[in-house]
Amino acid sequence: MRRTEKDILVTKELSEETLYGINTARALENFALGQKKMNRELVRAIVIVKKAAAGTYLKLKIGNEDVESAIINACDHILNHECDMEACFPLQALQGGAGTSANMNVNEVLANLALLEMGRKPGEYDVIHPLDDVNRGQSTNDVYPTALRIAAIRQLRLLSDACAKLQTAFQEKENLWQDVEKLGRTELMDAVPVTLGEEFGAYAQALARDRWRLYKVEERLRQVNIGGTAVGLSTNADRKYRFGVIEELRRLTGYGLAAAEYPMDITQNNDVFVEVSGLIKALVVNLMKIANDLRLMNSGPNGGLGEVVLPKVQQGSTIMPGKVNPVMAEMTMQCAIKVIANDTAITMAAAHGEFELNAFMPLIADSLLESLELMTSSVQLFREKCIEPLQVNEMNCRKYLEASSAFAASYVPALGYDQVSRIIRDCSPEEAVKELKKCLEQKE
């Protein structure tokens, strides 16, 4: 069986059981990129916004209570994982129109699910309409950014938790190896003695800063423009609804969401997402540095440094027997590079928010949520498969330290830079130690 739907442009036939409508069908054709689909957490967040709107109208007793109840039940059907997400939400992540197609996709699916809830057939929009009922008092321009903030807060908290556990893993290594002396290096050259514990303590401090940054930036994400509709001026939105929907969203999400002081600002400007992305980038810069340090310290096992021993998680070569690569560190570094690329995309997209709206919100949303999800998984795997099982080769640490002139810097205050430099230049490390001690005794 088929049903016919129409919009201002054309009519279109859909199978009777299809839960989306003509707007989604047209977007499927127009944006047939064959790439990533809309982020599922973003879809769920849009559904939460719709549920909050319907719940607000129900509490305020504005409109048809049966319709609002059916919409709420339809939302729960999706949120409780009772819906085929692939069939209902097939659109590509990247789409023109600032997210209008994503919003309409959700509107149509919820309208048709609500119709089924009432014993009706999909497409009977004279009973429940995707726009007049599901999208009532709303616009893509306040629904989509609000949903993105909700999805981002959820993922941000998951990432923060993952970073906390990684920081703890670094601190445990700091305590475990606090007495393991090794050669400290600057610009890849011998420098001064350090302990392996001190190096991991520095890693832990870097992660602590990242955690704090991510924690604080949530404050800006909690400011939402729902109720602002098209440009932030609340066109076609009931005043009681504007205040009630924020309260309902807080109840549904458990997040301390607040109405934006100036909704037009939130509608047209996306610098908050650039800020969040930038802080994720700061995190990945630290992780890339740490992962690369470990690759270098692990190098060998016989022709490199071999100061630490990364866990052997898989065979490393199809031609060189016995070779094992630092794959977890390499994975972490590649994830970091991807996040940096996403940050560039977010930056450029946010800069193109002409006048009262940014048409490139889908790119911002997909890139930001991908970065958050990617790093949450990456940080967890890096901790579980790289940091926690990491071991030290104390013999190599001691060997390189003793073979170096790292001890020389401690003699500079007493003997002067030039004299110490001459001794280091002219003597082997063993002889230099004796000569420096002799010079020190003579001076005393």
Active site residues: 317
**What is d(CA 208, CA 221) in angstroms, rounded to the nearest whole number?**
21
In whole angstroms, give the CA distance from residue 107 to residue 93.
17
Segments of 180-244 assigned E as strands: 181-186, 189-195, 223-224
Q: End-to-end alpha-carbon separation of the chain, Å?
A: 102
Structure tokens at 44: 């769920």
Q: What whole-number distance in Å separates Cα of residue 420 and Cα of residue 408?
A: 7
Do residues 210 and 282 lie in contact, with contact meaning Cβ atoms separated by under 8 Å?
A: yes
7-29: string of b/e by CB count within 10 Å (b at 16+)? eeeeebebeeebbbbbbbbbbbe
Q: Which residues contact 425 (CB under 8 A, 6 or more apart)?
A: none
Question: What residues pair up with 195 in beta bridges, in sequence order?
Answer: 181
> What CA–CA distance (Å, rounded) separates 308 from 390?
7
Reading the block at residue 271, the tokens are: 């610098």
**Among candidate residues 172, 197, 30, the one with its CA nearest the CA of residue 97:** 30
Residue among 248, 224, 281, 310 nearest 75 (CA) = 248
CA angle, 147 as apex, 143 and 152 as ends, to 5°?
155
Are 133 and 174 in contact by the 8 Å Cβ rule? The answer is: no
Pairing of strands 189-195, 181-186: antiparallel
What lies within 8 Å, CB to CB, of 49 at 6+ separation is 138, 143, 146, 147, 150, 226, 249
| Residues facing 4 on adjacent strands | 13
DSSP annotation of 444 reads -
What lies within 8 Å, CB to CB, of 150 at 6+ separation is: 45, 48, 49, 249, 253, 255, 257
